[in-house]
Chain A
Amino acid sequence: MNSAAFVLISILMLGAALAAATLRKLMHAALCFALTFAGLAMFFLLLGAEFVGLALVFIYIGAVAVLIVFTILLTRRDAVKERRFSWVGAVIAVAAFGTLAWSILRTESVSVVAHRVPPLTVGRIGEALMTGYVWPLQCTGVLLTAALIGALVLVMEEKQ
Chain B
Amino acid sequence: MTPTLQSFLIVSAALFSIGLLAALSRRHAIFVLIGIELMLAAANLNFIAFWRFGPQQEAPVGVLIALFSIAISAAEAAVGLALVIAVYRHYRTTNVDQLDQLKG
Residue of A nearest to B73 (CB): A64
- CB of B98 to closest CB in A, whole Å: 12
Chain B residues with CB under 8 Å of A97's CB are 13-14, 16-17
Docked complex: B11-39 residues within 8 A CB-CB of A:
11, 13-28, 30-31, 33-35, 37-38
Q: Hey, which chain B residues are within 8 Å of A52, CB to CB?
A: 44, 48, 63, 66-67, 70
Instruction: Determine how close the nearest CB of chain A comes to the CB of B53; give it in whole angstroms.
Output: 6
B74 at interface by CB-CB < 8 Å = yes
Residues on B lying within 8 angstroms of A by beta carbon are 1-11, 13-28, 30-31, 33-35, 37-38, 41, 44-45, 48-49, 51-53, 56, 58-60, 63-64, 66-68, 70-72, 74-79, 81-86, 88, 92-94
- Of residues 1 through 15 on chain A, the ones whose CB sits less than 8 Å from some CB of chain B are 1, 3, 6, 10, 13-14
Please give the number of chain A residues whose Cβ is less than 8 angstroms from any Cβ of chain B in the complex: 82
What residues on B are CB-neighbors of A90 within 8 Å? 21, 25
Q: Does A93 contact B78, Cβ atoms closer than 8 Å? A: no
Q: Contacts of B71 on A, CB cut-off 8 Å?
A: 59, 140, 144
List of B residues within 8 angstroms of A144 by Cβ:
71, 75
Interface string of A70-102 (1 = CB under 8 A from B): 011011010000110110111011101100110
The main secondary structure of chain B at its interface with chain A is: helix
Contact (Cβ within 8 A) A128 B59: yes
Chain A positions within 8 Å of B, measured between CB atoms, are 1, 3, 6, 10, 13-14, 17-18, 20-22, 26, 29-30, 33, 36-37, 40, 43-44, 47-49, 51-52, 55-56, 59-60, 63-64, 67-68, 71-72, 74-75, 77, 82-83, 85-86, 88-90, 92-94, 96-97, 100-101, 104-105, 107, 110-115, 117-118, 120, 124-125, 127-129, 132-133, 136, 140, 143-144, 147-148, 150-152, 154-155
Q: Please indicate the chain B residues that have their CB under 8 angstroms from the CB of A43 in the complex.
A: 8, 11, 45, 48
- A18-B18, A89-B24 given as contacts; is B3 within 8 A of A1 (CB)? yes
